[in-house]
Structure 1
Amino acid sequence: MRIVNGKKSKIWDDPWICEVPLVKWPTFIDCNQLEKLVYVQELFNESGWNGQLIEKCFGDDLKNKIEIIQVDMEGGDDHWIWKDSKLGEASVRSAYWHLKSKEDLSVESDVDWRKIWNLKISQNVKIFIWKLMWGRLPVSD
C-alpha cells in the first residue's frame, strides 16, 4: 500500500506498515489510544508524521518503521501497489513468481529434483517424495 495523504487508509484494517494489517497483529500497542483514531492521516501533524503520538500508540520499534514510510500530502489519494511488479500493478505472471519465490524458501535448495525425477522408481513414489519435501502430504494432527 502506498500512503499518499492517509485519508483513505485505515489504521487497523489496511496493511500500511507492512504486509499484515494491525488488526491481525498481537497487541503490543496502546489500543486505548488507537481506539479514537481511524485513518492514517490522523497520525500526521503539519510537518508529516506525529512522532510523539506514534510512539505513544505503537512504541519505539514500530515508530521507526512508520517514520520510514514516505508521504506526499498533495499527491492524491492512498492506493494499493503490487510490490512484485515494476509498475506496481498485479498480474497473473507477477503473482505466480511471487508465490514461486515463497515456495522456494520452504524447501532446501540443495535438492536436485532432476535426479529424483530420473530415478528408476514408480511415478507414485516420485510424487510422494515431491509432496513430502514440499509439505503437501494430507495428514491429520
Structure 2
Amino acid sequence: MGAKEVLENGVGCRIGNGKQVKIWGDAWLQPPHTRLFLPPNHVLSPDSHVDALIDSEVGWWNLNLLQNCFSQEEVERIGNVIISPLGQDDKIIWKGTPSGLFTVKSAYHMEMWRISRERGESSGEYGGGMECSRRIQKLTYEETDGRGLLLFFFEKLDNEEVLEALTVAQMIWLRRNSMVFGRGFSPPLKVISEVHSSLEDGALGSSNLAHFISGLEVGHSFWSKPPQGWWKINWDASIDKEARRMGIRAVIRDGNGAVVAARMSFLPYNDDPSAVEALAAWHAVKLGREMGGTCIIIEGDSMEVVMALRKNRYNYQNYGHLLEDIATSLSFFSICSSSACKA
C-alpha cells in the first residue's frame, strides 16, 4: 500500500456541527467502519451533510430521524459519535494517535497492524521490535489495589518507565472495554503499537506525573464540602449495555453540603467511557450555569477528563471539542476549579 492509501485509511472527520461533512462517503464514524454508503431510494439526499441528523435545539442527535432513516446498527454507530454542543466546526483528525495528530511512527504502526491482520499472523510477527521495557515485563505485583500499584510503579521505576507502565495499563483497560462492548478483542501487537504511538504522541506527559503523585500523597479520594460561598458540582456517568443507553447525573451542593439542584438524563448508547464522562461533565457545567452559579468546583471520577480540563490545552481526539466546550462554559463563572473524587 502506498503512502497516499495509508494516509486515507488513517484520516477521519471529527463532527462538531456537521456542516462540513457529508453523511454518505466521508469517514466520520468510529473505527473500524468509518463510512456510511447511500443505499438505493434513501429518503435523505445523496449530498446531505451530517448537520441534517442533528437536533439544533438540544445540540444532540435527532433520534427520531435516525430511527426512521437508518438500521439499528447504523443508529448506534452514529450515536457513538460525540458532537459539539456549542456547534464548533468539524475537523480532520488522525485516527492513529490518542491526540488525533499525525506522526510518521503512528502511520507505520497502523500499517503494520493492517498487514498482520490481513495475513492472519500471530501477534509476535510484524511487531517491528515493539515491546515493553524489560524492567516492566519483569515486575510482579500481587495486590489488586490501584493506589498501591501506582505507588509500586513509582518505587520500582524511573519516570519514563512509569509513563510507559501507566500507558500499558490504560491500553489494556481500553482493550477490555473494546471486548465488553462488542468491538472485538485486540491482539497484543495492536496494544503495544498503541502504547508506542501514545508515548510518542505525549498523551500522558511527564508533567502530569505531578498530578498522580499529589493525588496519591494528599489522598483526595472521597467527597468533601466546598468552601462557604462556593458550589461543588459532581458528575457521574454510566453505560447500560443491555438497555443500549447511557445515564448522566449531576448534583450541585453548597458550602453546607445541602443539595442546590440535581439532574439525571438518559442518552442514546455510547461505548466510549471517557467520552461519556466528558459528556457528563458538560451537562454538569451546563446545570451550574442554568442555576446561576458564580464560584464552582466541578468534580468527577474520571481522572482523564479532570486532567484534560486542568491542562487547559485540548487536542484533536474524538471528544476534544467537548472539552473545549466545557472550558468555554467555565469561563462564564467568576471562579472555578476541577478535581477528581471516587465517591
- Normalised-by-shorter TM-score class: 0.5 to 0.7
User: How do residues 15-94 of structure 1 correspond to structure 2 at under 5 angstroms?
Assistant: 15-18=27-30, 19-23=33-37, 27=39, 31-35=41-45, 38-45=48-55, 46-47=57-58, 48-74=60-86, 76-94=88-106
Partner in structure 2 of residue 100 of structure 1: 112
CA distance in 1, matches of 2:50, 2:125: 47
CA deviation vs aligned residue, 1:64-114 (integer Å, no higher than 9, x gap) = 12112111132521111112113212222211110011112224318889x
1:35 partner amino acid: S
Q: In structure 1, the residue corresponding to 2:93 is in which secondary structure?
A: coil
Q: How does 1:106-121 map to 2 (within 5 A)?
A: 106-109=119-122
| C-alpha spacing 1:14/1:92, structure 2 compared with 1 (3 Å) | same
CA 58–31 in structure 1, closer or farther in 2 if over 3 Å, else same: farther
Other structure's SS at 1:56 match: helix
SS at match of 1:55: helix
Q: Name the structure, 1 or 2, with higher relative contact order (CA <8 Å, separation 6+).
A: 1
Structure 1 stretches lacking a partner, 5+ long = 114-141
**For 1:110 and 1:41, how far apart are their aligned partners in 2?**
41
Task: Tell me, in whole angstroms, the C-alpha distance in 1 between the residues paired with 2:115 and 2:85.
Answer: 38
Counterpart residue identity of residue 44, structure 2: L
| Equivalent residues, number | 109
- Report the secondary structure of 1:8's partner residue: coil
In 2: Cα distance, 1:20 partner to 1:112 partner: 27
Alignment-mate amino acid for residue 22 of structure 1: L
- More strand as a share of residues: 2
RMSD: 2.6
Partner of 1:138: none
Equivalent residues in 2 for 1:126-141, closer than 5 Å: none
Cα offset for 1:8?
0.7
- 1:43–1:54 contact (8 Å) kept in structure 2: yes
Distance change (3 Å), C-alpha of 1:71 and 1:110 = closer
Q: Is the 8 A contact 1:17 1:66 kept in 2?
A: yes
2-structure distance, mates of 1:68, 1:83? 15
47-56 or 102-111: which moved more? 102-111
Question: For residue 72 of structure 2, what is the amino acid of its counterpart?
Answer: D
Could you give the per-residue CA deviations for residues 5-25 of structure 1, whole angstroms, max 9, x where no partner exists?
Answer: 1111111131112444323x7
1:33–1:90: structure 2 CA closer, same or farther, 3 Å change rule?
Answer: same
Q: Is the 8 A contact 1:13 1:22 kept in 2?
A: yes
Report if the CA contact (8 A) 1:31-1:57 is conserved: no
- State percent identity of aligned pairs: 31
